[in-house]
A and B are shown apart, each in its own frame.
Chain A
Amino acid sequence: MQLEYLPLRKEKSLYTWIGVIIVGLTTLVTGYISEFDVLEAFRVIPGVLNFIFTDFLPPAVKAVPDFWGSLLDTVYMAIVSTVTGATISLILALLCATPTTPHPLFKVTIRAFASLLRNIPALAWTIILVPAFGIGKTVGLMALIIGSVGDMTRFFTESIEEIDLGGIEAMRAVGGSYWLMLKGGVLPQCVPALVSWTLYNLELNIRASTIIGMVGGGGIGFFILSTIKLFRYDHAAMAILAVAIVVLFVEFLSKNIRERIM
């Protein structure tokens, strides 16, 4: 008797279609304004491939000794900035997160401060800081630390806010002080999340420290940029390959550590 489809909703949603049309139109309009040409994108493919295969490949293995030092610099910068950033962020996050904040005023200020640091990319921080500190690793480190603090303060705050408040209540009930409440009730619950975010931040920092090297932050970015300017693309290719290997290795490592601690 009932051969019609049973509708899944009371009324067909008009909004879904309006949404699809809006997104579609916006894409077309913005594409037109920014002179995005699909055909052009396909047309340049042979040229790009030609460039990659004749100029970039094969990577010049003999360039490795030239950039080995700067590659290590990049890795060191990433590690130091991540650890420093994590330490600062942990303090800020404890002051900022709802269960642990000493005063609501800290919450608002730290949130705003972290968001300011976060929303200016490390690349921009480097450019801002170069006039003050000059070109070199110091600037790169500063920029990375600033970016890390911005990111990790937010991640850490959210991790602390996700813990079970019952543990904190129990620590207060046994007569624990504020510090013992942090040590006994808060940290054991959120340390895995904090470590996991720190490792993720290390990955981000290795990538970012490559980029900021190009604008004067020290490390392998500078080597890549200067070889490209000298048209020694095979040298640049080798350096880019080396960065990719390092990034993959760190990702692999952090994935394993994270799986083990969670």
Chain B
Amino acid sequence: MKPILSVKDVKKIYGNGTYALRGVSFDIYEGEFVAIIGSSGSGKSTLLRCINQLIKPTQGSIVFKGTAVEKVNKCELRKIRREIGMIFQHYNLIDRLTVIQNVLHGRLGYMSDFHGIFDLYSKEDRWNAYRILERVGLEKEIHKRADQLSGGQKQRVGIARALAQNPSLMLADEPIASLDPVTSGAVMDYLYRICREDKISAIVSLHQVDFALKYATRIIGIKHGLIVFDGKPKELTDSIIDQIYVQGKDEFAKNELKLQRAIAI
């Protein structure tokens, strides 16, 4: 089977000399739900943003559905990006617009400048957006302004917007890091179920190991910009968790994670 996404030896050095990624390689196959875990600053966000070129990698190749994304021109990049949904830690909604307007933004990648600027979304797009909002349980809030929603609702709008793109790959950058535990569970449920139902592959960065263990079909552990673990959730042992999370000042966090893991299993 051919991978839907193939990341090879990707490196990213920021202008200030920070090595965010030091050569990361992995393949993602259709239907996988991959959790990327690692402590803050390990390179998770950079890695996800390299995939859709929100950040240009310094070196390495990223192939999405047979196209090398770092080599294409602007127009082709738009076509690639519209097939990759993205969900953000801080939701990145436009607060002053309504829920349905935010969801329809997911269609912008398919529209000409003229149609986009004058909000000329097709009838089909509009009803599709409505149906997506039904799926995430927000059909009653479609005309509410995004800033009137709770955190969990905002993230569900975020999921709906990504889903409106009709993506084949979903990138989620710490989708539940700003939410309380109960809401986190609900949002992860929605994300997981939708990706399963629509056969969307997903790469989700998380820092809660328990969530990674609960949902992921595969876990990738990153430390200092390098992959230190790549395997099935059941292969993730305590000593590997120790390795992934930096020693010393994160000691407490690490113990917490072991505990969570013990509960989760």
Contacts and interface: CB of A to CB of B under 8 A. Distances in A.
Nearest to B90: A166
Interface in A197-212: none
Contacts, number: 80
A192 B147 CA distance: 15
Interface string B22-47: 00000000000000000000000000
Contact of B113 (A171, A172, A177): A177
A173 interface: yes
Given A174-B105, A179-B117, A183-B116, A188 B94 contact: yes
Nearest to B96: A188
Contact of B105 (A169, A184, A189, A192): A184
A175 B80 CA distance: 8
B205 interface: no
Interface size class of B (residues with CB under 8 A): 20 to 34
Contact of A174 (B77, B93, B108): B108
Interface in A153-173: 164, 166-167, 169-173
A180 B54 contact: no
Contacts of B162: 174
Q: Which interface residue of A177, A185, A192 has the most chain B CB atoms within 10 A?
A: A177
B134 interface: no
A184 B94 CA distance: 8
A260 to B, nearest CB: 14
Given A188-B97, A189-B96, A170 B105 contact: yes
A169 B117 CA distance: 18
A180 B113 contact: yes
A21 B10 CA distance: 62
A167 B91 CA distance: 9
A176 interface: yes
A25 to B, nearest CB: 46
B8 interface: no
B79 A170 contact: no
A189 B78 contact: no
Interface size class of A (residues with CB under 8 A): 20 to 34
B50 to A, nearest CB: 13
A28 B148 CA distance: 56
B116 A175 contact: no
A173 B116 CA distance: 15
A173 B94 contact: no
B92 A180 contact: no
A179 B113 contact: yes
Contacts of A174: 81-82, 86, 105-109, 161-162, 165
Q: Which interface residue of B52, B107, B113, B165 has the most chain A CB atoms within 10 A?
A: B113
A166 B92 contact: yes
A189 B101 CA distance: 13
B235 interface: no
A172 B93 CA distance: 13
B93 A170 contact: yes
B111 interface: yes
A249 B161 CA distance: 44
A194 to B, nearest CB: 13
B109 A184 contact: no
A135 to B, nearest CB: 43
B108 A169 contact: no
B88 interface: yes
B251 interface: no
Contacts of A169: 54, 88, 92
A175 B79 contact: yes
Given A174-B165, A179-B117, A188-B97, A167 B92 contact: yes
B93 to A, nearest CB: 7
Interface of B: 52, 54, 77-82, 84, 86, 88, 90-97, 105-111, 113, 116-117, 161-162, 165
Interface of A: 164, 166-167, 169-177, 179-180, 183-185, 188-189, 191-192
Pairs A-B, 3 closest by C-beta atoms = A175-B109, A175-B82, A166-B92
Given A174-B165, A175-B77, A179-B117, 5 more contacts: A173-B52, A173-B54, A175-B81, A176-B116, A184-B105
24 contacts: A164-B95, A166-B91, A167-B92, A169-B88, A169-B92, A170-B92, A170-B161, A173-B52, A174-B82, A174-B108, A174-B161, A175-B78, A175-B81, A175-B165, A176-B105, A177-B116, A179-B116, A180-B111, A180-B113, A180-B116, A180-B117, A188-B94, A188-B97, A189-B96
